[in-house]
Amino acid sequence: RPDSVTDQSIVLVGLMGVGKTTVGRRLAKQLGLGFVDADEEIEQAAGLTVEEIFDRFGEDYFRDGERRVIARLIEGKRQVIATGGGAFMNEETRALILQKAVAIWLDADIDTLVKRVSRRNTRPLLKSGDPATILADLAAKRNPVYATAHIHIMGNDSPHEITVDKIIKALQ
Ligand code: S3P
């Protein structure tokens, strides 16, 4: 883990549905830091939802915007940053996060993820089939990469405050 953790942003990575946005927002509040959600930043910059960006311009276009937005956020003031599930798969983004921030892999069992994603069915990658199967495939492919984050936290617990407390302990 980098030395000067006290002035580095905290970046949450992990699969869709794990709770990066909810946990990130509450973590930021506890730490007295600002919070930003990378997907929301991309939506604001584009004036479109993530779903609309995928539909109109395709995934590659989204990934390009995602890479640029996260680079900008990492260079900014210390804050808590929630990323979309695919962001950390980009080699350049990952290198930047690992070098300049504290990367936290927020992880959960597939059953937990399936339950949580079912609350919002606007995720483009989950539209093509059974969410449980898609999430399990993504986990198999992505978990080895998420595992390169500095800190690994299981986030199955409810309420999310339990997970927030675990992160705070891990950061100490
Ligand atoms: C994606 C995750 C989404 C969003 C996009 C692609 C992914 O973010 O960036 O739909 O590739 O895992 P969340 O992880 O916040 O759902």
Give the tens place of pLDDT for each residue, 124-154: 999 999 999 999 999 999 999 999 999 999 9
Q: Residue 3: is its pLDDT beyond 60? A: no
pLDDT at 5: 58
Q: Which two tokens stand for residue 118?
A: 């079912």
Ligand 1: residue of 16, 55, 138 to mutate (most ligand atoms within 8 A of CB) is 16
Is 18 annotated among the ligand-binding residues? yes
Mutate to test the pocket of ligand 1, among 123, 125, 141 (most ligand atoms within 8 A of CB): 123
Q: What is the pLDDT of residue 2?
A: 47
pTM of this structure: 0.95
Atom number, ligand 1, closest to the C-alpha of residue 89: 11
Domain ranges of the chain: 5-171
Nearest CA to ligand 1 atom 1: 85
Predicted confidence (pLDDT) per residue in 15-60, tens digit: 999 999 999 999 999 999 999 999 999 999 999 999 999 999 999 9
Residue 7 pLDDT level (bands cut at 50, 70, 90): confident
Q: Does 67 appear as a known binding residue?
A: no
Q: How far apart are the C-alpha atoms of 118 and 130, rounded to whole Å?
A: 11
**With 90 as the cut, is the pLDDT of residue 67 above it?**
yes
Atom 15 of ligand 1: nearest residue by CA position:
84
* CATH code for residues 5-171: 3.40.50.300
* Residue 162 CA to ligand 1 centre (angstroms): 23
For residue 70, the CA-to-ligand 1 centroid distance in Å is 14
Q: Where does the chain have alpha helices with state H? A: 20-31, 38-46, 50-57, 59-75, 91-100, 110-117, 131-146, 160-171
